[in-house]
Amino acid sequence: MQALVWEGPRQMNLREVADAQPAAQEVLIKVAYSGICGSELGGYLGHNSLRKPPLIMGHEFSGEIVALGEGASEVKPGLAVGQRVTVNPLISDPWSFAALKGRHNLSLPRNILGIHRPGSYAQYISAPAVNVYALPATMSLEHAALTEPMACALRAVRLAGCTATDRVLITGLGPIGLLVLQVAKAFGVQEIFATDTDADRRTIGAHFGVQILNSLEQNVVDVVRAATDGAGVDMAIDAVGASATRSECINAVAPGGKVIFTGLHHEESSLPVNYIIRNEINIQGSFAYTPLDFEAAFQWLAAGRIEIDPWLIKAPLAEGGAAFDRLLNNPGPVVKILLYS
């Protein structure tokens, strides 16, 4: 089969590789669409420590079941050849200590499609049957491929604990930031500040009726504090992961406020720890999602609760390298690029 293989920093090439095969209790899926994730952009540049070349990336995807491995229909009754599906790419031991506490995403060792085993930037992918979700007839394959990033957004907003009376700052209006924005609004949040350095993404964010800030031209902390009578926001969600955006979030929240870090751009950042202590600021990481988050994201998308179609672009797998470069350099009014084979 053909697959897009990451072979080193900025080296993404279409190769002939061995056909994917389903192991016991797995299914074989013909990939329809596979999204490009921000963490994969970091991996493409060689900045992500989890990804090691050569690697078939891709973990946000949809497709059609073409074969069932031995016992697959026993662990997930109802699965059948020909079904349109999406997959939770985070494979965890259901009996691990973390999973028993409801935090499957923190189980060790982690096993993620597109990181620890071949991903979806290929014509076919094998996946555990228990992680497979059959699509309702009304759900498109394009929307199904967004379930994974939607689950990340839901997780971040849930951890933040957003309510209708809270004021929220979101740094970064890439795919996760824009989904976080929509989830926060759905949770009833009325006052949202959102930042991005890209003009097209600011325009997309403004479409949702929130206050948009350009951190290249405005002091985000000063603007937020002025707009909140000096108090600051109740919570801030960083969907970038840069040292500057992490600091902005910390300095923009009110004493006792909460900061959620979900962006992975920089491995390390210098933070104002004494300020954090003196203001009792709560900082929490948000990594991936639990099965309940993924299930909720799937239901939200199936119900059409998210607006994203105007900013989706599709590109053939053979142009995957160019699609990565576009997102890094001059993406335009794009929220997500979906690759197809």
Looking at residue 50, its pLDDT comes to 82
pTM exceeds 0.75 for this model: yes
Looking at residue 46, its pLDDT comes to 87
- 330 has pLDDT over 90: no
Q: Residues of 326-340 as b/e, b for ≥16 C-beta within 10 angstroms? A: bbeeebeebbbbbbb
Over residues 106-128, mean pLDDT? 95
Average pLDDT, the chain: 96
- 315 has pLDDT over 80: yes
Over residues 159-172, mean pLDDT? 96
CA–CA distances in Å: residue 35 to residues 242, 312, 326: 22, 10, 14
pLDDT per position as a tens digit, 26-52: 999 999 999 999 889 988 998 877 888
- 92 has pLDDT over 80: yes
Burial grade of 110 (CB within 10 A; 0-12, 13-18, 19 or more): middle
In angstroms, the CA 177 to CA 304 distance is 18
**Rg, C-alpha atoms of the chain:** 20
43, 51 in Cβ contact below 8 A? yes
Looking at residue 110, its pLDDT comes to 82
CA atoms within 13 A on the CB side of 275: 12
pLDDT per position as a tens digit, 214-244: 999 999 999 999 999 999 999 999 999 999 9
Looking at residue 229, its pLDDT comes to 96
In angstroms, the CA 340 to CA 258 distance is 39
Q: Name the band, by pLDDT with cuts 50, 70 and 90, for residue 143.
A: very high
CA–CA distances in Å: residue 228 to residues 168, 187, 222, 331: 11, 20, 10, 33
Over residues 183-198, mean pLDDT? 97
Domains and CATH numbers, the chain: 2-146+308-340 (3.90.180.10), 153-285 (3.40.50.720)
Compute how many other C-beta atoms are within 10 angstroms of the C-beta atom of residue 24: 11
pLDDT per position as a tens digit, 265-280: 888 999 999 999 999 9
Q: What is the token pair recorded at 338? A: 């979906």
Looking at residue 267, its pLDDT comes to 87
Higher pLDDT, 94 or 2: 2
